[in-house]
Structure 1
Amino acid sequence: MIEAGSLIRSLSGRHAARNFHTFVINEIGRSIISGSFPVGSVLASDAVMMETYGVSRTVLREALKTLEAKGLVEARPKVGTRVSPKSRWNFFDSQVLAWHYHAPADPTFYNNLFAVRAALERPAAEGAARHRTAEDVRIMKYWLHQAATAGDSVEQFGLACLEVHSQIAESSQNTLLRGVVAVVELLLALALTRHSDTVSEYCEARIGALEQLVRAIEAGHVEGAREHLTASLELDHQRILDGI
């Protein structure tokens, strides 16, 4: 797992300090998700990968175990480490989702992501309208302000929006709905890096949609929260799918 917001932070070129274990995981994971290492292919030998990534056998083995736990690879005696079928991949893993940002655009996958997001975030918004506290609303408004004052910083804007969505899920009092945050982060990252010439217009519309959503939650309007959440979804959906 990775910390929420890591993908959006990387949009500005800012990465966490290099860790050899996570470096190898990211390199191999992105290669699998992007198709550079196709499903069914056998990865190079330990010796070759150790030289390629500049790591020890211990680091490599631990990285492969992590990828196996995510369902991306499987180790077979006398065969080696093979890339698993997509049906075995853990698509709800935050790293697996983040690696899709670097993969070729796939409208079918994006549509599936939006379907999952709607299935989780609509009940989260409804639950937030029922169970929100004054502190929940204060936090949402704080992050809305941060988004509105982000200026040209795509990173600051994206992180602030993500915090609003995270607090909505938290306010629903259904911990299972927090699983939507990783999906929202990937879709936010995609939306913020599509059509760079209109990103400021998108950000303005995004803030407006979130403000209406938070107002409905604060007022306890369940149906209104659902409607404004749907409008926010449609805004992202149109932007990401447009022109693909």
Structure 2
Amino acid sequence: MIETGGLIRSLSGRRAARNFHTFVINEIGHSIVTGEFPIGSVLASDAVMMETYGVSRTVLREALKTLEAKGLVEARPKVGTRVSPRSRWNFFDPQVLAWHFDAPADPEFHQSLFRSRAALETPMIALAARQRTSEQVRLLKYWCHQMETAGESIEQFGLSCLEIHGVLAETSRDPLLRSVIGVVELTLALALTRDGALSSPDYRAASVSRFQALIAAVEQGDADQAAILFESIRALDRAQVLA
């Protein structure tokens, strides 16, 4: 399982250390999601993949089991391991989502990401506004300040923004709503690197301003205003990704 924030950290060139097992999962999973291994194709034999990735049969088999659990592949007797249809993929798996960052641009999929954010974030922010504590508000303000002072650091800005989403999810006290974090991280990574370059200062300044207003609404317990402001943040990210 990819660590929350791992995709954002990778944008600045910092990769987390991997063991052989996670290395093989990432290599094969990334190749499937980006289309290098097409849907319906049969993966190479165990012997070929063991040589390609430099791992033992045990490591390879465990990696393939993990990918099967994510819905990306299925093993068939006398056929081999076949890439599954997209309809079987677990799109709420953070690792599957992270691999989509390098996939060809797909506006329809990107729209789906924002629909999912809206569906999960709308009840989340209402709960957060009603149940917030002074400590949670302090954390929200702290991370917003970190966004504001990030300068040109894509890592500080992105991770701080992600922390705000995480605190709001925790504040909602609904464990299932936190599943939106992987979706948020992917859309944020896409927004921060539109056209392969660091996002504009105007986008980052607008994000900070809207988060400041959102946090004020949460602190005041104004669920309706918080929902409106959260939608404006999604709209800003959506415009950046889909432009």
| Alignment TM-score, normalising by the size of structure 1 | 0.97
Matching of residue 144 in structure 1 with residue 144 in structure 2:
yes
Following superposition, the deviation at residue 125 of structure 1 comes to 0.9
Matched residue SS, 1:61: helix
Correspondence for 1:17:
17
Correspondence for 1:215:
216
Following superposition, the deviation at residue 197 of structure 1 comes to 6.4
1:80-109 per-residue CA deviation (whole Å, 9 max, x = no partner) reads 000011111111101001110010000000
Matches within 5 A, 1:27-176: 27-176=27-176
Q: Which amino acid aligns with 1:9?
A: R
Matched residue SS, 2:137: helix
Matching of residue 188 in structure 1 with residue 177 in structure 2:
no
Following superposition, the deviation at residue 55 of structure 1 comes to 1.2
In the alignment, the residues of structure 2 paired with residue 174 and residue 94 of structure 1 have an alpha-carbon distance, to the nearest angstrom, of 18
Following superposition, the deviation at residue 200 of structure 1 comes to 1.8
Matching of residue 199 in structure 1 with residue 166 in structure 2:
no
In the alignment, the residues of structure 1 paired with residue 88 and residue 18 of structure 2 have an alpha-carbon distance, to the nearest angstrom, of 29
1:101-158 per-residue CA deviation (whole Å, 9 max, x = no partner) reads 0100000000000000000011111111111010110111111111111111101110
Matched residue SS, 1:13: coil
Following superposition, the deviation at residue 17 of structure 1 comes to 1.4
In the alignment, the residues of structure 2 paired with residue 202 and residue 26 of structure 1 have an alpha-carbon distance, to the nearest angstrom, of 31
Matched residue SS, 1:40: coil
Matched residue SS, 1:55: coil
Q: Which amino acid aligns with 1:230?
A: E
Q: Which amino acid aligns with 1:169?
A: A
Q: Which amino acid aligns with 1:17?
A: A
In the alignment, the residues of structure 1 paired with residue 9 and residue 58 of structure 2 have an alpha-carbon distance, to the nearest angstrom, of 29
Q: Which amino acid aligns with 1:222?
A: A
Correspondence for 1:5:
5
Following superposition, the deviation at residue 36 of structure 1 comes to 1.0
Following superposition, the deviation at residue 18 of structure 1 comes to 2.9
Which 4+ residue blocks in structure 1 deviate beyond 6 angstroms?
Answer: none
Matched residue SS, 1:220: coil
- Ranges in structure 2 where 5+ consecutive residues have no aligned partner: none
Asked if structure 1 preserves the Cα contact closer than 8 Å seen for 2:191 and 2:199, the reply is no
In the alignment, the residues of structure 2 paired with residue 38 and residue 158 of structure 1 have an alpha-carbon distance, to the nearest angstrom, of 31
- Ranges in structure 1 where 5+ consecutive residues have no aligned partner: none
Following superposition, the deviation at residue 198 of structure 1 comes to 4.7
Q: Which amino acid aligns with 1:62?
A: E
Q: Which amino acid aligns with 2:211?
A: L
